[in-house]
Amino acid sequence: MNGNRRKRAALRDEILARAKDQVLLMGILNVTPDSFSDGGMFVDPRAALEQAEALDDAGADIIDVGGESTRPGAAPVSAEDETARVLAVIPGLCASYSRIVSIDTYKAEVAHAAAEAGAVIINDVWGMTRDAGMAKVVAETDSAVVVTYNRGEIQPDINIADDMRDFFANAFAMAAAAGIPREHVILDPGVGFGKTWQQNFDVLARLDVLMDFDVPVLVGVSRKSFIGRLLEREVQDRLIGTLAAGLASVQRGATILRVHDVREHADALKMLKAIDEAG
C-alpha cells in the first residue's frame, strides 16, 4: 500500500470510528457557480481553501467538496468540468494530514479522481444508482461512501419507511457484490431528493429505519427548500429551521450533519450534549 493509500485508510477508519459514538459536522464547500445557497462564492481555489480553513476553525470534522449543483433545475456539468473544479482544490485541502475530505458527486470518474487526490469519502446523492461504475470505484479506492435514499421520482402514495428500508437493503446487496465492506457505508435519508414536501419530514421522523442497519447516518437539511416553505423564509434566513431539524435528527440517532453554518451547529450540539449528560 502506497503512502497516499495508507493515509486515506487511516483517515477513513478514524472518521468512521468517531461517527459511531459522537456527532460530527460535515462542512459544505461548493466550488460551483450555481449552488442554491453559496453558488459562485468559492469557485476561486484560494477562496475555497480559505473557506475550508474557516470551516475547520468553526468545528468541521469533514469538508465536503462539490463541483456540480444538485439543486432542482441546475444545469448538468460534464465529468471533465466537474473533475477540473474539484481537483483545483482537493490536493490543497488534503495537504493537511489530518483534514478529512469528502467528494460530493454521483459520477464514478469524478469520484475516482477525487479519491486519488486524497478524498476519503464519496458522497453520492444517487446512492450508487445513477452511475453503474460508482460501486466499483468505491471498492477500488477503499473509500467510505454515503448512500443517499434517492428514488429519482416523486411518488406521493408510497409507504416511505418501507420503501426507504428496501432501498437501503438493495444498496447493501450492491455494496457487498462490489466488494465494499459494510462498515464503510454511511446512510443518508435524502431530504430533498425525489420526495414530496411532506415526505421530507417523514424520512426525518423515521430515522429509526436507518438505525436498524447499524451504520452511521448522515442528515443534510441545511437551508433546503422544505424548511423555507414551512417557515416562509428565503435561503439565507433558514438557520433556525436547519438547526431544529438537525438537532431532531441527532436525537433520532444521526451522527453526521452536513451543514453550511458549522459554528452555529457546533454550539447547538455542545448545548444538547451538556443537557443530555446532566440528565
The backbone torsions φ and ψ at residue 122, rounded to the nearest 5 degrees and listed phi first, read -105, 115
- pLDDT value at 154 more than 90: yes
pLDDT in tens, 78-87: 999 999 999 9
pLDDT in tens, 131-152: 999 999 999 999 999 999 998 8
**What is the percent of the chain with per-residue pLDDT over 90, rounded to a whole number?**
86
The residue from 238, 258, 270, 273 that is catalytic is 258
Q: 224 an active-site residue?
A: yes
In this prediction, residue 36 has a pLDDT band, given cuts at 50, 70 and 90, of very low
Return left, alpha or beta for 48; rule: phi > 0 is left, psi -120 to 50 is alpha, else beta: alpha
Domain 3-278 in CATH 3.20.20.20? The answer is yes
Angle at 13 between CA 9 and CA 15, to 5 degrees: 120
Domain ranges in the chain?
Answer: 3-278
- pLDDT value at 39 more than 70: no
pLDDT in tens, 82-131: 999 999 999 999 998 889 999 999 999 999 999 999 999 999 999 999 99
In the numeric block, which cell numbers belong to residue 138?
Answer: 468505491
How confident is the model over 253-274, as a mean pLDDT? 97
- pLDDT value at 157 more than 60: yes
Q: 12 an active-site residue?
A: no
First to last CA, the chain: 46
In this prediction, residue 43 has a pLDDT band, given cuts at 50, 70 and 90, of confident
The residue from 8, 151, 224, 238 that is catalytic is 224
In this prediction, residue 72 has a pLDDT band, given cuts at 50, 70 and 90, of low
The backbone torsions φ and ψ at residue 134, rounded to the nearest 5 degrees and listed phi first, read -65, -45
Angle at 193 between CA 268 and CA 231, to 5 degrees: 50
Q: What predicted TM-score, i.e. pTM, was given to this entire model?
A: 0.94
